[in-house]
Amino acid sequence: MALTSALRLLLACLLLGGVAPKPTCDPGTCTPCPDRDMEEPTTAEGCCPPCPAPCACPPYLQSDCEMQGFASGHVPVGRSFYIDFARKLCTCHPGGDITCTPLCPSLPPTCQAVGSPVADGCPQCVCYDEEEMAVSAGTTTARGDQVCTCPAQGGRLQCKNKE
């Protein structure tokens, strides 16, 4: 009889344990992932997910990472840095991949001459004057007693006397 009672008690405990309320996880109690290079789980009563692992800078981006504050060679997920004279933005994504996106608009295939007449360094269609200075395509400038226009596709600066 003692064995039967013990089995009934064990069975009752197992059944009651299965219907016992489980603690709920409130995402608001999870601390934000640290802005560090190491993976650190941030748990509140064991319900918060671990922080994603940072992205390792590939060798060709190593100096860019270091110059922009990621001295250990790792970039936290969601953080970004610039390369190519700030013409591209590189971002660390979950899973450890760094992707770089160009910030400059693409040039039309009809562009006859390319230069960077503006401080942002983005290439654009241009014309070059006698001093080899780039003039933005589609602009008109005065040169002494002449008015010069650079066509929309760039190329050769077209000048004529003022009238």
Read off the pLDDT of each residue in 135-157 and give the average, rounded to a whole number.
Answer: 90
**Distance of CA 93 to CAs 33, 52, 74, 86, 152, Å?**
14, 9, 12, 19, 39
The residue behind tokens 């089995």 is: 7
Q: What does the alpha-carbon distance between residue 47 and residue 8 come to, in Å, rounded to a whole number?
A: 33
Tell whether domain 114-161 is in CATH 1.10.150.
no
pLDDT at 38: 42
pLDDT at 12: 63
Read off the pLDDT of each residue in 38-62 and give the average, rounded to a whole number.
Answer: 73
Read off the pLDDT of each residue in 97-102 and give the average, rounded to a whole number.
Answer: 93
Is the pLDDT assigned to residue 55 strictly greater than 90?
Answer: yes
Residue-wise pLDDT for 10-25, tens only, equals 666 665 555 555 557 7
Is the pLDDT assigned to residue 85 strictly greater than 90?
Answer: no
CB half-sphere exposure, 154, CA atoms < 13 A? 21
**Distance of CA 149 to CAs 55, 80, 136, 154, 160, Å?**
48, 40, 9, 10, 9
Which tokens go with 125? 């269609």
Give the residue with greater pLDDT, 116 vs 63: 63
* Stretch(es) of the chain classified as CATH 2.10.70: 114-161
Show the DSSP H helices in the chain as ranges.
2-19, 62-67
% of residues, the chain, pLDDT over 90: 37
Secondary structure class of 128 (helix, strand, coil): strand
pLDDT at 3: 66
Residue 44 phi, psi dihedral angles, 5° rounding: -120, 105
Is the pLDDT assigned to residue 45 strictly greater than 70?
Answer: no
Read off the pLDDT of each residue in 121-144 and give the average, rounded to a whole number.
Answer: 86
For all residues of the chain together, what is the average pLDDT?
A: 81
Which tokens go with 57? 């800078």
Q: What does the alpha-carbon distance between residue 134 and residue 157 come to, in Å, rounded to a whole number?
A: 10
